[in-house]
Each structure stands twice: as C-alpha cells, then as structure tokens.
Structure 1
Amino acid sequence: MGGQQSDAKTKRVALVCTSASAMGEHATGAWLEEIATPYYAMIDAGVDVDVISIAGGSIPLDAASLSGDFFTPDCDKFTKDETAQKAMKNSTALAKVKASDYDGVYLAGGHGTCEDFYKNDALTAFIDAFVAAGKAVAADCHGPIALLTCKKPDGTPLVSGAKVTCFTDSEENAVGLAEKVPCLVETEMKKLGAKFEGTADWTPNAVTDGKLVTGQNPASSKACADAFLVIL
C-alpha cells in the first residue's frame, strides 16, 4: 500500500479522493463508503491500492457518511483497519504521483470533489494520461465531476458519445444541494453529448463504456468497483 513498489504481475491502482472539507460554506468532504468499498474490493482482488488526495495528508470525511445506514459494514471495517487509517491520514498528494506508475485510476466521491476535482488542471491531465494509455478509469457519485474537463486522445470530450452516469440532478435536488454545487454533473454530461444512464434515486447503478466505469451514488460503490476490476 501507500507507495510501495509492486511486482510486475500485481495491478496497482490510484484511489483518488478529495482534500476539500467544505463546498463553499457547506461542510462536506469525501464520502466514506465510496472509499472503503472500492478499497476492499480491490484489496480482496489482490490489487495494490495507493490512497491519493488532491493536497495530500489527512482526507476529510463528510459527517453524514459516518452515520445511520450510510455507515456500512465496509465503513465500519475501514475505520478499525490500521493500514487503511494510516493511508487515509497520510494520503499521497496528486502532484507527487505519475499516471504511468498505475494500471488504473478510481475517483471516489463526496461533495468535496465539487470543490477540488472540478476544473482541476492537474487532475484532468492525470486522468487524460490513463485514457490516452488505454487504462481503466472509474468514478463514482460526484467523482465524475472530474471527467467533465477530460478529453479523448483526439481532443473531444471524454464523455461525448459515452454511456455514463453520476449523482443525478434528481438526487442533488433531493439532498437540497442543487443550488450549492458548482454545476449539476448530469446536466453538464448531457451538454457534452454523453449517453446518460440514470436510474431511480439511491438505486445501485454502474455503467461501463470501454475502459470507463461510472457509478451513480454511494449505493453504487460495489457495482462500480466490481466493474472497474473486470476491465482492470
């Protein structure tokens, strides 16, 4: 984990998280399930996982993801896992890693991503490098906001003509944050020519198009991670 070299046969993935603890005046962060579930899915599949964040260091968590039904068994396991907690508190800054060192990139969600994934040139370039190399790219819930500025090797928008999903406009309205996010990701994806595939609010939904996998919401974490592992 956390930067160690793996042998040639072992797949290595960059699990990228937000470093933002607020979206404007709204307290938020990363959504724990969207980190914990793919983390264990990959570990269980024998994949090396490096926990990366935009700024490095401790990753802030949205308090809402630590309570009630949102606090899943994977979340509980993750909070008691010394290795996982060390990785969360000492995440590697995006600026210190290279796409060429990884076989795939997985973008975890949470409203914090609306602050530092959105129109982030460094993150865009990082993801574009995976796309250009034909490597697996996955993003769940609000993680896909990073994909809005990504391009295919021919310079066209990454999501143009692609089957994708994300936290839907309906879900954004349901949580009362449609007026606070910098953009409605579903709306923007459609503007870019994406073939958007949403489902009922809070229903698990993961969509694969070539080497790109997107998940709709926290409940989609497992399906998104599993689909990612298939193409990895």
Structure 2
Amino acid sequence: MSSRDDAPREMPKALVEDYLEQEAGTRAFLDDLQKLAAEGRRATVRDRLREFAEHSQGAFFAVALSLGGSAQFFADVEAQMDVETGGKLRDLKETYGNLADEFSIVRSEQTKDRHNPVTSLSTATTYQSDEEVPLVEYTPLSGEMELYEGRESPEEILQVAHFMVRATTDALDVALENDQPVNTEELSALIDRREELESELGALRDQIDELRRTPVDE
C-alpha cells in the first residue's frame, strides 16, 4: 500500500486530485449532462449525477464545490495546490454553471440523506364555475425538475398541508421521546417556518370570515 493510501488526505486537495485523475472523462460526462438538461430530461440528469456521486465521490464533490462558487473553496485549492488548478475549477463554473442546482441537490442527498428535496413550488389559480370553487394548480420543483402536477380546491390543499404538519409533529414527537437532539440550524428554521405558517393562517382566517359574510346566490 502506498504512503498516499496510508496518510490522511488534505481537503479539498484530495477531492481535486480525484477530479484531475479523470478530468477529461468528467468534462465529457458534464457535456452529456448539459445536452440532457437542454432537452428537458431533468430526471435523467439527476439519476446520472447520483451514479457519478456513488462511483466517483471525490470527483463529484470537487465539481459540486466548483459549481457552488465558494471563494473560500477556490482559495483553499490555490493555497494547497496552485493557481492553475484553481483556474481549471473556475472554468468548470463558467462552462457548466447551469448544472449547479442539480449538483447542489444531489450533494444534499449524499450528505444529508435527502431524496428529491423540494426547493420551490410553481402555482397558478383558476376557477371552476360549475362548482363555484377556486382551484390551485401546483407543481413542486426540485431544482428545475418537476416532481408532479396537482390541481385541487383550497380545502383539499389545506388537507394536504394538514397531513404534512401532522407528519412533522409526529417526527418531532419521536425525537423527543427518544432523546434525539435537533441541531440549532434546524430548530431555528423550524421556528421561522412556524411563524410563517401562523401569519398565513391569520390571513386565511380573515379571508374565511369575509367569505362567510358574503351573500351566496342560491
């Protein structure tokens, strides 16, 4: 076994070395991903990235960090290696920057045990005159990948929201019962989300009260 195998490898230098060992093949792979993304085949891009992360973890993280564009990452690379290598990684960001979101999501899957995390929600509203019910059309997005499409009434949407909140409280109950800690970042974000929900529920309460006061034509 070589001394390189025995000794701890310096980060992020070790990741970059893994990338450089397969630079040509990785760039060809990224070219293919760009073509797939241009064709709208986001699910295929996601699956290919998962395979890349599984089989070439070091190179995957080197590219993901390069596309993330952290100034500290590039500074560390240049300090541990050289300016030329830093330039090669900056070129990845310039050439393949449109893949940054997909890399970020798969990186989150790899490091945080997530799967297709929802990053945004596309919505539109319409009205079903026969039922006299507004409808919400929605598409959860993971990066630019559409997970599914739905069209439901406000009551049905709130039922889904109720399911999700109940699942959240169940998860927190289990953590409390088993003395499992929740990290500060997650707890802080939970507080923010709760306050946002309370604000939206206040607006919803006002809207429902107004609708109840509005005469309905029989």
Q: Higher helix proportion, which one? A: 2
Which structure's relative contact order is higher, taking Cα pairs within 8 Å and 6+ residues apart? 1
Give the TM-score, by structure 2 length: 0.29
Q: Higher strand proportion, which one? A: 1
Tell me which structure has the larger Cα radius of gyration.
2
